[in-house]
Amino acid sequence: MNPFSLTGKTALVTGANTGIGQAVAVAMAGAGAHVIAAGRSSSAETVALGAAEELHLDFSDPMAAQDLFGQRQIDILVNNAGIIRRADSVDFSEADWDDVIDVNLKAVFFTCQAFARAALPRGQGKIINIASLLSFQGGIRVPSYTASKHGVAGLTKLLANEWAARGLNVNAIAPGYIETNNTDALRADPDRFRAILERIPANRWGKPDDIAQTAVFLAAPASDYINGAVINVDGGWLAR
């Protein structure tokens, strides 16, 4: 059996209509999985690119995925949906705090919990959380995002500790600076864009496809002995 194959597995990818989520969904379909592309916007484009079906899922209610995993068998969960809000910390609003924490952290935990309640009795499952460089670094003007992504890294390790012996692999990917909607504002500022580029050892910003095959690996049997890891896919940024 090919240890990198996802044939026979069903994967749910959140925020799969665009960016990193779309690339992950398409790559998992390419590796043989039946992919459910989930999100608040239509994932029709992702289905056209290879995902099997789309599902409406809006994490403005962090408990939105509670009933999903009891209804059908899902073997792989990719918690990718995420938002970012930028403002000086001294001016940062409660709404920008709550909205980001709800989608990036509270929804991630309770979706992992719902998935595990269905998958633990089967003794098999893979969870891949999308963390960030700001799981390790402070960043600037993104307090709720940094808090949420530090939280995602911590939760990934905690859940791995609880579930590894019961057949669930919980890991995370920390993408570097990737060209998606999430980084529009940074790329629109020529000084910030150049300053970031100059610090990336690979000498280029990342593309969503740079993340996708790491997610396939973490979903496949090849990574069965990887638990609680946060894998940087960042062109060397954190090595600098």
Indicate the DSSP class of residue 202: T
Whichever of 143 and 166 has its CB closer to ligand NAP, that residue is 143
Q: Select the span of 11-19, 159-167, 187-195, 218-226 touching ligand NAP (CB under 6 A).
A: 11-19
Site string for ligand NAP, 29-68 (x = CB under 6 A): ----------xxx---------------xxxx--------
35, 111, 114, 132: which one contacts ligand NAP (CB under 6 A)? 132
- 145 included as an active-site residue: yes
Cα–Cα nearest to 198, from 240, 168, 152: 240
Indicate the DSSP class of residue 166: G
Closest approach of Cβ 212 to ligand NAP, in Å?
Answer: 11
In whole angstroms, what is the distance from residue 224 CA to residue 170 CA? 10
* 3 state SS of 69: helix
128: CB partners within 8 A, 6+ apart: 76, 77, 78, 79, 171, 172, 173, 215, 218, 219
Whichever of 186 and 224 has its CB closer to ligand NAP, that residue is 186
Closest approach of Cβ 4 to ligand NAP, in Å?
Answer: 23
Cα–Cα nearest to 180, from 203, 206, 200: 206
Note whether 166 binds ligand NAP by CB under 6 A.
Answer: no
Residues that bind ligand NAP (CB under 6 A): 14-15, 17-21, 39-41, 57-60, 80-83, 103, 130, 132, 175, 177-178, 180-183
